[in-house]
Amino acid sequence: MARPVILRSPLPGTPEQVFALLTEGAELTKWFCDACDSDARLGGEIHAAWVDEDGEPWDRVGIWVEFDAPHRLTLRWLPVQTAADLAVTGEEPDAAEPEHDELKFAIAPHPRGAMLTVLSPTPTVDTPMRPEVLEDATQQGWQQCFQLLEQLLAQSAP
């Protein structure tokens, strides 16, 4: 498994505003995914969906395993098979299971508004790629997300 990437960006909003953009389904669709249903609470599920460049839909299911508003969040993405099993059985996944990606967020006050720190897993791909390439793609993707978050927060400023 590739090492996670750490990224930081100051944002022009309060920690509470940033936290809402990271957790509420309607807000997530403005910058992160094409459709989303998020039960924004500790242990709540998130269902996020995207449409790729070829028009093919794909989705992920996750669980909020840390939810400390407005300071820290951890989203555990479930493996596709585990997500399907969870939907059928209604049982929680094994917390010791090593096959999951965790997306971690920390939000702190900053002179500009809030500092968002993201600890992001790098994607796993079927085609062998150098880790540096995957890390670079992850960084570029998050830089685009930071720009969208900044625009959304700037639009909502008084």
Whether the CB-CB separation of 11 and 21 falls below 8 Å is answered with: no
Domain spanning 5-156: CATH superfamily: START domain (3.30.530.20)
The model's confidence at residue 98, banded by pLDDT at 50, 70 and 90, is very low
At residue 96 the predicted structure's pLDDT band, cuts being 50, 70 and 90, is: very low
Neighbours of 78 (CB within 10 A): 22
Q: For the residues 46-61, what does the mean pLDDT come to?
A: 93
Look up residue 41 and give its two tokens: 């609470």
Lowest model confidence (mean pLDDT) among 3-12, 34-43, 125-134 = 125-134
Write phi, then psi, for 126 (nearest 5 degrees).
Answer: -75, -30
The end-to-end CA distance of the chain, in Å, is 44
Q: What is the average pLDDT across 105-109? A: 98
pTM of the model: 0.82
CB proximity list for 153: less than 8 A, separation 6 or greater: 11, 12, 13, 17, 18, 21, 113
